[in-house]
Chain A
């Protein structure tokens, strides 16, 4: 996809760029907070993959559902979840998106149909099929978008979920964000195929495969799959090739890959690409810098909010183990 041509296209890209930049800055701040011991557990950053989440989610309507993985910060921000409550969740505070019950891997927001970050690799794929199943059952016209990594494409839930979605023609779009490493295992040592989307052929469903470095391209391709699902023509399996610039999580120094490889992929940084396109479409550098400053301020405010928020009261320990029957 080349640079935007019309004013509308440019403004469109600008908004997508803003979302990607928010993710980048938010994650940089969370990496810093993690290093300072403010954030516990695992913290899987999305830096480098922003064009996938932002592009894909921008193809959805508000009534559509998103099911995410343990690497859910980017997807949550792209869906418009409040940075303050996400940062507070990372800090384990009562003001967090799930009151400190979930942490990094378990963001949920019912109001935004954000159906969770899920920590078991691939386990969430059949849940996504279930949400799509409910849409078909109720005929509500919603589509479910499910993200997963290429590591998840080898587990049973992926295959069972795909088969069930196929036989029942569920409104499901499955997006494999192939960042080429399942923790430290490169894809060629784990996958029987070079392109995960070819597995769609075994289930006789639609497939697509693209590079994930251009946000508008991602959005356009995902839109095709979303519309297909909405028309009742069943699920799509997409592979969107991408790269994480950091390790698997904050505790991973990523020594299994070379600096040359990382540098090569950094040249395809989706933010730099979008920025270049905006500049050549005539957008002023100062405007972009101003946008960055505003975003940095938002992120700083979210850190400040998280810092100042209280921990959940100990009396909440047993809250929500069981739902009340009313």
Chain B
């Protein structure tokens, strides 16, 4: 089995899909000659040429719209946002055009487009460059929202997204681009709406996704050494949501902690908590708990940034409280 970085896995997924389907093109700032701000599109311009790997000026609203228009007539664009922070100037196009076009046109104009790029917190980039938008986009009917953690998931889910006939919000974590993981040889797809148990356990379920798992998984290992058995469920797919997978784990462990890098208020974890209390209330032995990014714009100072985010320590402390 090959060991790839997260960025290599994404690159392989796009490259393989573009080799198969001439309707697919990649567009965004610095995706071509610069080979991607985070080097996700390395080598792709040389392979596919300027017709299919297209550098844009800084104009997210404009090129998001161009992608949607092209998708209306059957092309299958992959639109890279250098970071999801910049997607905010394109959010009108994503919500009002991409998400609703199929509905408004009674199925005449599906929008097979992938919006992808770096998201999440990290690197002391401060308030405007360090934030998570899964909850924002998950709010919108018509969109699908994915946030993979491992290179294998990134590969399998990106391929699925590219083949999907709906607009997909594919949020990568900028901190994870260099992370390595085993990616099976040969082509494989991972279906949307299917969570993955990243670690089996019996006493408590931690539900999480994307970069937050960087804290969750080591915390679970340390807790195991204390004799506390934690199950770690990686949602991977925020919308559609694997309700059955979540409920099955809750019914097994009877305790739930949700860890997310986004903000608390109206955060996606609240939706997961609602699902659990509604569908598995009788299985709960304690209140559902959440650990999130603190309710502040991201600070720059290293100590404040760290203190505002979920951490191993916070998770271990919370699990210990919940198990007692």
Residues on A lying within 8 angstroms of B by beta carbon are 65, 67, 98-99, 101-102, 106, 108-110, 115-116, 118-120, 123-135, 137-138, 156-157, 160-161, 163-164, 167, 319-326
Q: Which residues of chain A are within 8 angstroms of B108 by Cβ–Cβ distance? A: 98, 108-110
What 1/0 mask marks residues of chain B from 146 to 171 whose CB sits below 8 Å from any chain A CB?
Answer: 00000000000000000111100000
Contact A319 B107 (CB under 8 A): yes
Contact B165 A323 (CB under 8 A): yes
Bound-state CA distance A163–B64 (Å) is 14
Stretch at the interface among B34-42, B71-79, B285-293: B71-79
Q: Which residues of chain A are within 8 angstroms of B1 by Cβ–Cβ distance? A: none
What is the distance, in angstroms, from A147's C-beta to the closest C-beta of chain B?
A: 15
What 1/0 mask marks residues of chain B from 66 to 89 whose CB sits below 8 Å from any chain A CB?
Answer: 111111111100000000000001
Q: Which residues of chain A are within 8 angstroms of B70 by Cβ–Cβ distance? A: 130-131, 133-134, 137
Stretch at the interface among B51-59, B252-260, B268-276: B51-59
Contact A120 B96 (CB under 8 A): yes
Q: How many A-B residue pairs have CB under 8 A?
A: 147
**Interface of chain B residues 74 through 116 with chain A (CB within 8 A):** 74-75, 89, 92-93, 96-97, 101-112
Bound-state CA distance A90–B73 (Å) is 25
What is the distance, in angstroms, from B110's C-beta to the closest C-beta of chain A?
A: 3
Q: B218 an interface residue at 8 Å Cβ cutoff?
A: no
Bound-state CA distance A166–B287 (Å) is 58
Contact A108 B104 (CB under 8 A): yes
29 interchain pairs, CB-CB under 8 A: A65-B73, A98-B104, A99-B106, A108-B104, A110-B105, A115-B69, A115-B72, A116-B104, A119-B96, A120-B96, A123-B65, A127-B72, A129-B66, A131-B72, A131-B73, A133-B69, A134-B70, A134-B75, A138-B75, A156-B61, A157-B61, A160-B63, A161-B62, A164-B59, A321-B102, A323-B107, A324-B165, A325-B165, A325-B166
Knowing that A99-B106, A115-B72, A137-B25 touch, tell me 6 more A-B residue pairs with CB under 8 angstroms. A116-B105, A130-B67, A137-B51, A320-B103, A322-B166, A323-B112
Closest 9 CB pairs of A and B: A130-B69, A126-B65, A160-B62, A323-B110, A130-B66, A108-B105, A127-B69, A98-B106, A160-B59
Q: B142 an interface residue at 8 Å Cβ cutoff?
A: yes
- Identify which of B57, B93, B103 contacts A164 (C-beta below 8 A): B57
Q: B141 an interface residue at 8 Å Cβ cutoff?
A: yes
Q: Which residues of chain A are within 8 angstroms of B66 by Cβ–Cβ distance? A: 126-127, 129-130, 133, 161, 164
List the A residue with the shortest CB-CB distance to B27.
Answer: A133
What is the distance, in angstroms, from B202's C-beta to the closest C-beta of chain A?
A: 36
Bound-state CA distance A320–B66 (Å) is 22
Bound-state CA distance A137–B96 (Å) is 25
Contact A126 B62 (CB under 8 A): yes
Max count, chain B CB within 10 A of own CB: residue among A99, A130, A133: A130
Contact B106 A321 (CB under 8 A): no
What is the distance, in angstroms, from A157's C-beta to the closest C-beta of chain B?
A: 6
- Identify which of B56, B97, B104 contacts A102 (C-beta below 8 A): B104
Contact B61 A126 (CB under 8 A): yes
- Identify which of A65, A123, A319 contacts B93 (C-beta below 8 A): A123
